[in-house]
Chain A
Amino acid sequence: MTAFGTAVADGLTITRRNLIKIKRVPDLIVFATLSPIMFVLLFRYVFGGAIGGLPPGISYAEFLLPGIFAQTVVFGSTTTGASIAEDLQKGLIDRFRSLPMARSAVLVGRTIADLGLNAISIAVMALTGLVVGWRINSSLGEAVGGFLVLLLFAYAISWLMAVVGLLVRTPEVVNNASFIVIFPLTFVASTFVPLETFPSVLRTFAEWNPMSAVTQAARELFGNIPAGAPVPDAWSLQNPVLYTVIWTALILAVFVPLSVRLYQRTSTR
């Protein structure tokens, strides 16, 4: 087998292992599905009436859902960091590192499994969204593109979180640390409220925040931006799909090699 072939085979072996865990620990799947449902309902019905400044011709549900998709998948990706830290703590990484397997396999298997979990989350959210009034107003191809952009971006974040997990090494700390970083990132963005409502400094940040771009990209691809809506000022939001893809590529280019390097050096103690 070629080096690439063995890397793929090993990656699949580890993916399978991680999927078995998802099957055996129902909490994971329950959490991955219930919390987004809760988020959808909470924002839709608690804040829905209070959030103003929406472009005319759009319901809050349609504005909101792409934002919730984006936030949820990015949070979903933090699982990668916590799981890697857990494997480290339990000595499994040592076991794997003593085997003649591909060095990328543990990370590939982890990120792929978490991608699967995210895909499930997004499917559940989309269904819930349809129930509360969200609609896809675009072609099938664009809609698929919307889901892909979200998942791809989240996949890149998974690699970033893998680095965090390898450095921090304690699942609880990974969770807390990522919460502190990701929570503001997802809120200082166009995820839940229109950018026009932000004070100017925050607004510039929010415009260039990739979270806004992913959200905007999803809105565009799902057709959740009404025809007459004003064109955003920032280039990042005029070309949200491209801007998101650039971010995704950059994150992957930096964090894939970095995490593989760290993995090779790391060990339980």
Chain B
Amino acid sequence: MVVEGLVKRFGATTALDGVDLTVAEGSVLGLLGPNGAGKTTVVRILTTLLRADAGRVRVAGLDVVDDADAVRASIGLTGQYAAVDEYLTGLENLEMVGRLYRLSRREARVRAGELLERFDLTGAADRPAKTYSGGMRRRLDIAASLIARPRILFLDEPTTGLDPRSRLGMWEFIADLADGGTTILLTTQYLEEADRLADRMVVIDRGRVIARGTADDLKDQVGGQRLELTVRDAVDLGEVARRLRPLGVDEPRLDASTRRLSLPVSGGTDALAEALRVLAGAGVEVLDVGLRRPDLDDVFLALTGHAAEDEDRTGAGDRTPVGAGEGAA
């Protein structure tokens, strides 16, 4: 997959402003970015749903405009919003999509059965999808995109709305697919997800690529370790910050609602030991303290200047994963 100079405007909004990326065959690319960054727009252009205003896109070596049909035959798409037919049963949904991928009736049925099994939907196979929970729909939707064993798979926030157990199951499944040689482009709000699944990542913001590389590359870009602690009582945060500030290499970050302090440090465990000594003298009740490497949340904050959920209020709020922040702690 090769994308060069992709530009897409919607009226006055420039959703994509010159995006370049490549995904090597058989690898997984994580496409990250805050709300409104342009992730879905990239996916929609690569899957032939939308036409770019400028730029070139080749998927499976084919041009997405000139060879749209051939592209469609080799891809599977799970969009950001589950697209299943509510009136059909799970089985009927999969069979229909299978038939439209030109599987024979029998192939479609066998494959549908396998996927229902794989996604824990066998018990609900004969119920209309209307009766499914959000997570079940999501799984059915993903199953539908896999029915024809596509070589290339697009997953736009595949685990948004799944409970932790289903999410783990989905991760395993995606990892299996990747091991099996499927090329995957995955967008996600869960930074942990990209960290686990993606070989390489591209971070976009306001339609531009602002960073790319492996998870380690990105973390190195943000820098060293940080000391994190949670106090019992939020009013103590100021005092703790004042006492620990000399240990840090930068200003501490406070969050009163989670009662957490985060401080970039150098010197690893020595810094931790020193911090514990200082805290012992402060008479503040600390619930949790630790040292950690920056995770992708930090990468996000450092690169975009705002957290992944910052622009939530603009509309897609209901899709925001609960606890994206905690997931990384």
Contact = CB atoms under 8 A, between A and B. Distances in A.
A10 B20 CA distance: 35
Contacts of A98: 47-49, 72, 75, 77, 79
**Is the contact region of chain A dominated by helix, strand, or loop, or is it mixed?**
helix
A90 B88 contact: no
Interface stretch (A13-21, A50-58, A118-126, A221-229): A13-21
A58 to B, nearest CB: 44
Contacts, number: 67
B99 A13 contact: yes
Interface string A79-100: 0000000000011101111111
Given A94-B83, A100-B73, A268-B81, A17 B96 contact: yes
Contacts of A99: 72, 97, 100-101
A101 interface: yes
Contacts of B70: 100
Nearest to B70: A100
Interface in A250-269: 267-268
How big is chain A's contact interface, by range? Answer: 20 to 34
B144 interface: yes
A96 B93 CA distance: 12
B69 interface: yes
B173 interface: no
A13 B85 CA distance: 13
Contacts of B75: 98
Contact of A20 (B88, B99, B144): B88
Contacts of A6: 102
Contact of B49 (A20, A25, A267): A267
Interface string B201-227: 000000000000000000000000000
Q: Max chain B CB contacts within 10 Å: which of A92, A99, A100?
A: A99
A163 B34 CA distance: 36
Contact of A17 (B50, B73, B79, B88): B88
B128 interface: yes
Interface string A1-37: 0000010011001001100110011000000000000
A212 B69 CA distance: 44
B274 interface: no
Contacts of A9: 99
Contact of A267 (B50, B86, B100): B50
A24 B85 CA distance: 12
B100 A24 contact: no
Interface string A158-201: 00000000000000000000000000000000000000000000
A24 B93 CA distance: 14
A266 B216 CA distance: 40
Contacts of A267: 44, 49-50
B49 A94 contact: yes
Interface string A94-136: 1111111100010000000000000000000000000000000
Given A25-B87, A98-B47, 13 more contacts: A6-B102, A16-B96, A21-B87, A90-B83, A92-B84, A94-B49, A95-B83, A97-B49, A98-B72, A99-B72, A99-B100, A100-B70, A100-B72
8 contacts: A6-B102, A20-B87, A91-B79, A95-B144, A98-B75, A101-B100, A105-B100, A268-B81
Interface of A: 6, 9-10, 13, 16-17, 20-21, 24-25, 90-92, 94-101, 105, 267-268
